[in-house]
Structure 1
Amino acid sequence: MFQSKEIRGPAWLAAAALIASLTGCSKAVVLNPAGDIAAQQGQLVVTATLLMLIIIVPVILLTLLFAWKYRQSNTEAEYDPEWHHSTALELVIWSVPLIIIIALGALTWISTHKLDPYRPLDRVSETKALAPEIKPLEVEVVAMDWKWLFFLPEQGIATVNELAAPVDRPIRFKLTATSTMNAFYVPDLAGMIYAMPGMETQLNAVINKEGVFHGLASHYSGAGFAGMTFKFHGLSNEGFDAWVAKAKAEGQPLTRDAYLDLAKPSERDPVKRFSSVEDGLYSKVLNRCVEDGKMCMHHMMAIDAAGGEAYMKAAGLNLPQDVCTVQNADRVVALLDQRDQPGAVAQQ
């Protein structure tokens, strides 16, 4: 296909302008978020960028200056082919970057500890301290294929692809996944945090403004990844209570069977609300034992920690080489439940 140089140049400029315009669609949410943790992270980005610009800007300006001053047509520029060293220039070249690296290192070290996602919050916002009587809102998150499931144990409800929290109340997230590693991300709330099958990660955050904010999966997880989004509502205390009441009034119970049906892969699911949650369901999801007869991971790890097969035989339960089967799971769990009871004897 014929391509003219006259057309190719403007096309590249138009593409660059289009990309630049698309960056504004997010309204720079990372640098202007509605939550305190995200705001601190955004400020960290700005501070680190300004520190690096101390080197970048002078280098760019000096590059342009040298190119202009020592251009071929400038016969008045001094030409010294024997020049090879300047102590003053060496001091500037090495000392300034070294100072910036030290500053960035100190900033990173402090921020890494201060903004640790596992660290409980010590303030609500820059101008508001955290009252000691305020209890964090517990939210248990399950990344599914391809939707988000949220448990609110204190309220006794669950939702799919929708979450709400009161303004200025700390939120403690506990996150896991069903089958595929993913990443939970609400740009207005805090940085992303991974959710992995059989593991639990944590995130502490707070929302400081009322509104509806965008949540998404920021880690590619298959065909339905693009539609794995949800709405996060920042509400007043009264609005949050009304949201919970609506879930209790309109939703259905989330039983183990309902969860197994929900866990089947599906794309772009609508918002669903559940009025109640079966006891221990999140723990079973985390330990990958929702199905009947499947041994939970914490039981399996308890056996390994106690000595594995040798422990089982010493306790009086002789099992095949693979002790983690559906057929013997009930007996193994019963043994584990009995091991701390005085005088309890496990029967094969």
Structure 2
Amino acid sequence: MMFALLLLAATGCTENIIVLDPKGPIAAQQRDLMVFSTILCSIVIVPVLIMTAVIIWRYRDKKGRAAKYTPNWEHSTKLEVTWWSIPIAIILTLGIVTAKATYALEPSKPLASDRETLVVQVTSLDWKWLFQYPEQGIATINELKIPEDVPIRFEITADSPMNSFWIPQLGGQMYAMSGMAMKLHLQADERGTYWGSGANFTGKDFAKMVFDVEATTQEEFDEWVRHVKAASPALTMDGYEQLVKPAASEAKTFSSFPEGLFEMTVTKYASSHHHGLSAKEQQPAEGNRSKGHHH
């Protein structure tokens, strides 16, 4: 099985395995780590599987069997050194590489870029995703649009049972939990539409918590923001209370949202845990305060 997966990866037959088709720097590093770990482990697994088949065939019970019969054999220093030293070397190598990758891919670590980071606040609801753009003053349901080559800082929480926010082609998943504000930095290196979803069971319609992530040019993104602000209704507190109720939803856009809605969602569960967010980042965005998005 492992050999078959390696063969598929080597021959490029990964069209439907989106985690092996990264479109961002974080996903690319995670893909490389998975491939490296798989190849490293196969150094032990593949020979063991081959030897198992050979031993079963050679030492099968049959008339005229030519295999040497040595019932009193019990030790070989060469074999002991071989089958202990190779796995130990592999485990040490895998441990060092994984430890370095863990620190390098720490999700709250900002991405190096000469472009300004875009903040998107993500709230998991039953059974839908609310995306708020505090700097642009707009919000969406199950629709996420970002500019290409721009670092995105996702601030993630939940006003529902715990879920997991995941865009496989851009990076690994991050849990959305009530009373907590998690941080995840991702980036799309090229234009395209990528699949996103909730990756944690949260009830009857959890399978409908999917959304498209559209990476566009900066100009197209700015035009989309202007269109949303001009043509979409405002999200009021009454409207938000309706969104919180358990129900699936189609994609929607809102020209504004209540000031400090994300922070209110995090703090209303009386939790002091704000993983990855500083006290300053927990405050309502300046753009929201200056534009008066309180309805």
- TM category (shorter chain) comes to 0.7 to 0.9
Corresponding residue for 2:101? 111
Secondary structure in structure 2 of the residue aligned to 1:62:
helix
Corresponding residue for 1:285? 265
2:102 is matched by which residue type in structure 1? Answer: T
Instruction: Tell me if structure 2 keeps the 8 A contact 1:175–1:202.
Output: yes
Q: Distance in 1 between matches of 2:71 and 2:244?
A: 73
Corresponding residue for 1:189? 170
After TM superposition, give the deviation of residue 263 of structure 1 in Å: 1.3
Instruction: Tell me if structure 2 keeps the 8 A contact 1:137–1:170.
Output: yes
Secondary structure in structure 1 of the residue aligned to 2:153:
strand
Q: Distance in 2 between matches of 1:93 and 1:281?
A: 58
Alignment of 1:173-322 (within 5 A): 173-267=154-248, 269-288=249-268
Corresponding residue for 2:111? 121
Instruction: Tell me if structure 2 keeps the 8 A contact 1:224–1:266.
Output: yes
Out of 39, 42, 45, the residue aligned to residue 53 of structure 1 is 42
Q: Distance in 2 between matches of 1:26 and 1:265?
A: 35
Query: Number of residue pairs matched?
Result: 260
After TM superposition, give the deviation of residue 179 of structure 1 in Å: 2.3
2:266 is matched by which residue type in structure 1? Answer: L
1:277 is matched by which residue type in structure 2? Answer: F
Instruction: Tell me if structure 1 keeps the 8 A contact 2:120–2:153.
Output: yes
Aligned residues: CA RMSD: 1.7
After TM superposition, give the deviation of residue 72 of structure 1 in Å: 2.6
Instruction: Tell me if structure 2 keeps the 8 A contact 1:145–1:263.
Output: yes
Moved more, 170-179 or 240-249: 240-249
Select the structure with the greater relative contact order (CA < 8 A; seq sep ≥ 6).
2
1:37 partnered with 2:26: yes
Corresponding residue for 1:11? none
Alignment of 1:69-148 (within 5 A): 69-73=58-62, 75-122=65-112, 130-131=113-114, 134-148=115-129
Secondary structure in structure 1 of the residue aligned to 2:23:
coil
Moved more, 99-108 or 75-84: 75-84
Instruction: Tell me if structure 2 keeps the 8 A contact 1:167–1:207.
Output: yes
Q: Distance in 1 between matches of 2:139 and 2:238?
A: 15
Q: Distance in 2 between matches of 1:247 and 1:215?
A: 21
List structure 1 segments (4+ residues) > 3 angstroms apart after TM superposition. Answer: none
1:193 is matched by which residue type in structure 2? Answer: M
1:48 is matched by which residue type in structure 2? Answer: S
Q: TM-score, normalised by structure 2?
A: 0.84
Alpha carbons of structure 1 residues 145 and 26: separation in structure 2 relative to 1, 3 Å = farther
Alpha carbons of structure 1 residues 25 and 178: separation in structure 2 relative to 1, 3 Å = farther
Structure 2 alignment gaps of length 5 or more: 1-7, 273-295
After TM superposition, give the deviation of residue 119 of structure 1 in Å: 0.9
Q: Distance in 1 between matches of 2:247 and 2:159?
A: 13
Secondary structure in structure 2 of the residue aligned to 1:209:
coil
Q: Distance in 2 between matches of 1:259 and 1:38?
A: 33
Corresponding residue for 1:166? 147
After TM superposition, give the deviation of residue 55 of structure 1 in Å: 0.3
Corresponding residue for 2:281? none
CA displacement, residues 115-162 of structure 1 (integer Å, 9 cap, x when unaligned): 11111112xxxxxxx22xx21110000000000000001111000000
Corresponding residue for 1:331? none
Instruction: Tell me if structure 2 keeps the 8 A contact 1:165–1:235.
Output: yes
How high is the sequence identity, in percent, across the aligned residues? 43
Instruction: Tell me if structure 1 keeps the 8 A contact 2:120–2:152.
Output: yes
1:154 partnered with 2:130: no
Tell which structure's C-alpha radius of gyration is larger: 1
Alpha carbons of structure 1 residues 186 and 26: separation in structure 2 relative to 1, 3 Å = farther
Instruction: Tell me if structure 1 keeps the 8 A contact 2:142–2:252.
Output: yes
1:28 is matched by which residue type in structure 2? Answer: I
After TM superposition, give the deviation of residue 26 of structure 1 in Å: 6.5
Instruction: Tell me if structure 1 keeps the 8 A contact 2:180–2:271.
Output: no
Instruction: Tell me if structure 2 keeps the 8 A contact 1:250–1:273.
Output: no
